[in-house]
């Protein structure tokens, strides 16, 4: 009887799409019973820009590299990385070994910047702005290094099909090592700040638990999955670029604590350890980098000709800071654009874990628990088709309805 | 421009209309210690009702049009709209996409444009300073 009454009393709180706790537009419908969250529904599609369509209708494959870079402003190395690997797989172009090492170095630089960015945002979500500012100050060092190596802070434009566009020369090594040493000297301090602080422990321990079974069932990828004890990492499981030559092990929280809980605290541990791992990978790359050319075909016009003639399909998999990103392309002979381009970003699968994580928690824990997945919505929003025939909820608003109605009237008038 | 031009604090509200995050993280970088615009009194607020300036990023996605209009109406006068990034100015790399409702200035009036994909933090600070000058002039015109 009591249960019946409380069930009736549930209330749905809409969050977003524009909301101060969310950095990107997404709409969450939280069904709450008092303070406890009973159910969560997620609506995406506010950042859908039709990128795959552009690659299939407007751009040639080389131009698509730069569009793929703009899928996400944070992971704008891993998307072109997976994309060029997919095209190389389809066409049989092999990048020279030096290019593979340069790709690995910048991919790991991106991981450092992305994880530090996440750590800052997570601290901000629990209201610990001092740490947010501290982490972002520390992050500027890697931004400087990225600018030094690639020429730009955010969109790096380093990738080309069959290699990279800029070389990392011997003269640049001391500057790179200087930045890596800076992070190595800071690592213990960062570890103390994030893992030993009482406030952070109180807000993150046993919050937003995702058990290993659930993570396996929901196909959680990346650091969120590894924090639940799923030893999944493309860099180790299916090494690409130079990762096969390097010493890489999957990072799980039990390396540091001995147990796997799968809570927000464990996700912090995994990301911190991965920053350290990324530094070690860059150091190994600098030592082992072979000399040689950086492009398989330096002439863009010739490369474009090969791509227009090429036929076949390919898959590129890369380990983004948020998890596994997969690009699929199909090329048809005589067609200047891609015949098919499909992107599967890590957040797309990780969002499915969000309802499991949020259920049973308090409303105040939503920002940190949701942010702990490191959702990147601009990667995710690819679906525009709403199935109205099956009676599914459609997110049309008044203006859209009005437009549809006007269109129908015009059609009938003809 | 000299620093004495900053006579009062300028509060900005950040509105993402479908941006790729590139500009958004640069806006956050502007607020954090390296660039630290809070020393000029510029700060990010959580509600458009508290803001003087709307920082708009992204090429407006169709689903976001009513939200952008509503946020614009919620911002009190005198207000300014500042577009950060190429895609909000003229579509950028997405300009022919089927899901764009056009650049920001086709939805709401825009005062300051900051080009770049993404713009450097220095450019964003310069844009806010330009917005401040414009806001001051608008206020003088009202009086």
Per-residue pLDDT tens digits for A282-296: 999 999 999 999 999
In the Cβ-directed half-sphere of A186, how many Cα atoms lie within 13 Å?
19
A22 inside domain: no
A121 inside domain: yes
Query: A341 burial class (0-12, 13-18, 19+ CB within 10 angstroms)?
Result: buried
> At A36, phi and psi to the nearest 5?
-90, 140
> What domain range includes position A274?
51-357+367-377
Coil, helix or strand for A131?
A: helix
* Regions of chain B with pLDDT less than 50: 1-6, 143
Contact A137 B34 (CB under 8 A): yes
A382 inside domain: no
Q: Which residue has the tokens 């000297």?
A: A185
Coil, helix or strand for A301?
A: helix
Model pLDDT, residue A90: 92
Model pLDDT, residue A388: 38
Residues 6+ positions from A38 with CB-CB distance below 8 Å: A10, A31, A32, A359
Question: Element (H or E) spanning A340, and its range?
Answer: strand A340-344
Query: What's the Cα-to-Cα distance from A327 to each of A52, A232, A337, B71, rounded to whole Å?
Result: 10, 18, 16, 36
The rounded distance, in Å, linking the Cα atoms of A172 and A151 is 13
Model pLDDT, residue A389: 39
* ipTM computed for the complex: 0.86
A212 inside domain: yes
Model pLDDT, residue A356: 86
For residue A196, give both structure tokens: 């030993």
Model pLDDT, residue A53: 87
Nearest to B34 among A66, A72, A140 (CB): A140
Q: CB count, 10 Å around CB of A29?
A: 15
Q: CB count, 10 Å around CB of A299?
A: 9
Model pLDDT, residue A396: 41
Model pLDDT, residue A408: 55
In 3D space, the residue among A320, A326, A294 whose CA is nearest the CA of residue A100 turns out to be A294
How do residues A264-277 score in pLDDT, each as one tens digit? 899 999 999 999 99
Nearest to B25 among A46, A73, A132 (CB): A73
Question: Element (H or E) spanning B67, and its range?
Answer: helix B65-74
pLDDT at A2 over 60: no
Model pLDDT, residue B141: 67
Model pLDDT, residue A409: 56
In the Cβ-directed half-sphere of B71, how many Cα atoms lie within 13 Å?
31
Residue A393 — very low, low, confident or very high, per pLDDT cuts 50/70/90? very low
> At B106, phi and psi to the nearest 5?
-85, -10
Residue A167 — very low, low, confident or very high, per pLDDT cuts 50/70/90? very high
Nearest to A17 among B21, B28, B67 (CB): B67
Contact B21 A376 (CB under 8 A): yes
Residue A383 — very low, low, confident or very high, per pLDDT cuts 50/70/90? very low
Residues 6+ positions from B77 with CB-CB distance below 8 Å: none
Helix axes A78-91 and A61-69, enclosed angle (nearest 10): 160
Task: Determine the residue of chain B that is closest to A143 in CA distance.
Answer: B29
> At A316, phi and psi to the nearest 5?
-120, 130
The region of weakest confidence among A162-171, A316-325, A395-404, B71-80 is: A395-404
Phi-psi sector, A255: left (phi>0), alpha (psi -120 to 50), beta: alpha
Model pLDDT, residue A407: 63
Model pLDDT, residue A126: 81
Q: How many domains does chain A have?
A: 1
CA torsion angle A271 A158 B28 B56 (round to 10): -130
CATH code for the domain in which residue A79 is found: 1.10.645.10
Residue A413 — very low, low, confident or very high, per pLDDT cuts 50/70/90? low
- DSSP lists the bridge partners of residue A326 as A317, A344
A352 inside domain: yes
The rounded distance, in Å, linking the Cα atoms of A306 and A378 is 32
Which chain A positions have a beta carbon within 8 Å of B100's beta carbon?
49-50
A272 inside domain: yes
Q: CB count, 10 Å around CB of B120?
A: 18
Report the gap between the CA of B130 and the closest CA in chain A (Å): 23
Q: CB count, 10 Å around CB of B76?
A: 10
Model pLDDT, residue A184: 92
Query: Which residues of A, range 155-184, sit inside 8 Å of B by Cβ?
Result: 155
Model pLDDT, residue B123: 92
Work out the percent of chain A whose per-residue pLDDT is above 70: 86
In 3D space, the residue among A366, A352, A66 whose CA is nearest the CA of residue B117 turns out to be A66
Report the gap between the CA of B14 and the closest CA in chain A (Å): 9
Contact A54 B93 (CB under 8 A): yes
Arithmetic mean of pLDDT over chain A: 83
Model pLDDT, residue A390: 40
The rounded distance, in Å, linking the Cα atoms of A406 and A394 is 19
How do residues A36-57 score in pLDDT, each as one tens digit? 788 888 777 777 888 888 888 8
pLDDT at A354 over 80: yes
Give the residue-averaged pLDDT of A222-241: 89
Model pLDDT, residue A411: 61
In order of their start, the domains of chain B are 8-142 (3.40.50.12280)
A45 inside domain: no
For residue A188, give both structure tokens: 């213990």
Contact A24 B21 (CB under 8 A): yes
Model pLDDT, residue A403: 57
Give the residue-averaged pLDDT of A222-251: 89
Nearest to B33 among A117, A137, A153 (CB): A137
A393 inside domain: no
How many CB pairs below 8 A link A and B? 123
């Amino acid at each position: 009887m009591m249960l019946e009454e409380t069930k009736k009393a549930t209330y749905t709180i809409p969050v977003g799409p524009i909301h101060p706790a969310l950095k990107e537009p997404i709409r969450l419908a939280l069904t709450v019973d008092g303070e406890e969250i009973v159910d969560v529904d997620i609506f995406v599609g506010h950042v859908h820009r039709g990128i795959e369509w552009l690659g299939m209708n407007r751009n040639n494959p080389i131009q698509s590299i730069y569009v793929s870079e703009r899928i996400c402003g944070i992971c704008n190395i891993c998307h072109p990385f997976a994309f060029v690997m997919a095209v190389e797989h389809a066409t049989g172009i092999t990048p020279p070994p030096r290019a593979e090492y340069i790709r690995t170095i910048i991919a790991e630089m991106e991981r450092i910047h992305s994880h530090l960015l996440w750590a800052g945002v997570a601290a901000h979500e629990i209201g610990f702005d001092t740490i947010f500012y501290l982490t972002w100050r520390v992050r500027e060092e890697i931004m400087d290094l990225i600018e030094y190596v690639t020429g730009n802070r955010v969109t790096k434009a380093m990738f080309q099909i069959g290699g990279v566009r800029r070389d990392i020369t011997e003269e640049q090594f001391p500057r790179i090592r200087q930045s890596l040493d800076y992070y190595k000297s800071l690592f213990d301090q960062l570890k103390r700040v994030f893992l030993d602080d009482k406030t952070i422990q109180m807000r993150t321990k046993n919050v937003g638990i995702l058990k290993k079974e659930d993570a396996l069932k929901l196909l959680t990828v990346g650091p969120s999955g590894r924090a639940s004890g799923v030893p999944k990492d493309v860099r180790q499981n299916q090494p690409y670029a130079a990762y096969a030559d390097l010493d890489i092990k999957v990072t799980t929280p039990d390396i540091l604590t001995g147990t796997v809980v799968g809570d927000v605290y464990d996700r912090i541990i995994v990301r911190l350890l991965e920053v350290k791992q990324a530094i070690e990978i860059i150091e190994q790359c600098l030592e082992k980098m072979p000399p040689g050319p950086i492009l398989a075909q330096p002439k863009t016009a010739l490369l474009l000709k090969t791509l227009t003639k090429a036929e076949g399909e390919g898959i590129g998999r890369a380990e983004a800071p948020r998890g596994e990103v997969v690009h699929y392309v199909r090329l048809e002979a005589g067609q200047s654009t891609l015949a098919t381009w499909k992107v599967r970003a890590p957040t797309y699968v990780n969002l499915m874990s969000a309802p499991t994580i949020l259920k049973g928690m308090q409303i105040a824990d939503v920002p940190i628990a949701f942010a702990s997945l490191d959702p990147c919505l601009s990667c995710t929003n690819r679906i525009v088709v709403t199935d109205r025939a099956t009676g599914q909820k459609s997110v049309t608003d008044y203006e859209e309805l009005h437009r549809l109605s006007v269109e129908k009237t015009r059609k009938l008038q003809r | 421009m000299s620093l004495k031009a900053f006579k009062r604090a300028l509060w900005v509200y950040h509105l993402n209309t479908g941006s790729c995050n590139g500009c958004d993280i640069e806006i956050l970088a502007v607020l954090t210690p390296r660039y630290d615009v809070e020393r000029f009194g510029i700060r990010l607020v959580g509600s458009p009702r508290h803001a003087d300036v709307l920082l708009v990023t992204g090429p407006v996605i169709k689903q976001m049009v009513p939200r952008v209009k509503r946020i614009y109406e919620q911002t009190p006068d005198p207000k300014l709209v500042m577009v950060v990034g190429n895609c909000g100015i003229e579509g950028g790399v997405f300009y022919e996409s089927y899901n764009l409702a056009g650049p920001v200035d086709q939805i709401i009036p825009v005062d300051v444009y900051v080009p770049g994909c993404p713009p450097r933090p220095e450019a964003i600070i310069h844009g806010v300073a330009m917005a401040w000058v414009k806001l001051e002039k608008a206020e003088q015109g009202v009086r």
